[in-house]
Structure 1
Amino acid sequence: MSDPTGAGRLDDILLWAGAVITLSAALGLLWRATRGARRLAQRVEDVVDDWTGVPDRPGVPGRPGVMTRLDKIEHRIAAVEHELHPNSGSSLRDAVDRVDQRTAHLDPP
């Protein structure tokens, strides 16, 4: 009963083929099961890259991180706010006030 097919060599080949198929199926299931985790890890990596920035690479320009971009935005907003409030006479608001005073003299109410 140790030789079910009557050919010892054939039994060995069938046993090894079954083992390879079973191992391949198990690896395929494992690969498929971990696909969600790999996708999540890639998304987390993308978020981290966006937050911290990416340096220049050959042929690809770098991207600044979130904090650097926020700093630029704050400086631009400060420059706009400077123009919207009266100061020593150099802001846009001062220029509008001067024009308003000049036109008030031309056409009194």
Structure 2
Amino acid sequence: MEATGIPALDTALVWGGALSVLAGVGTVVWRGFRGALHFGRRVNEFMDDWAGEEARPGVPGRPGVMERVGAIEERLQRVEHELYPNSGGSLRDAVDLANERLARLCSDEDERGSDDPPP
């Protein structure tokens, strides 16, 4: 016993406890660092996808999000052009013309007294 009244601690016990605490703190720090690295890689991948990548030897380039959205908008405009009547060049105009002609053909047959029963 020491003069202060506190029993002397075994040095192996002190070092063992200190090493255990340091190992625990080191593990927490390492796991945090590893998680930050993983998160950083994911953010980097997202930014590459967002901005796109230039072509390099053996790897084709990839367009970014804004370029891809622009291409989608152009395609949508071409589709919408075909859905509404305009100067006669759309699919809708062709369908309307075919329906008109079919209606005239059907009314001509009805006036002549066709033997075929109506559909």
Query: What displacement does 1:75 show?
Result: 0.2
Task: Report Cα offsets for 1:31-53 as digits up to 9, x if no partner.
Answer: 43311111111111111111100
Number of matched pairs: 86
- Residue correspondence of structure 1 range 1-109 to structure 2 within 5 A: 29=27, 30-108=29-107
Amino acid at match of 2:106: D
Query: Which has the higher Rg, Structure 1 or Structure 2?
Result: 2
Task: Tell me how far apart the structure 2 counterparts of residues 72 and 33 of structure 1 sit (CA, whole Å).
Answer: 41
Show structure 1 runs of 5+ residues with no match. Answer: 1-24
Query: What displacement does 1:93 show?
Result: 0.5
Show structure 2 runs of 5+ residues with no match. Answer: 1-22, 111-119
Amino acid at match of 1:50: D
Q: Which runs of 4+ in 1 moved over 4 A?
A: none
TM-score, normalised by the number of residues in structure 2: 0.65
Task: Report Cα offsets for 1:44-72 as digits up to 9, x if no partner.
Answer: 11111111001111101111000000000
Amino acid at match of 2:83: L
Identity %: 56
The CA RMSD measured in Å over matched residues stands at 2.2
Amino acid at match of 1:89: G
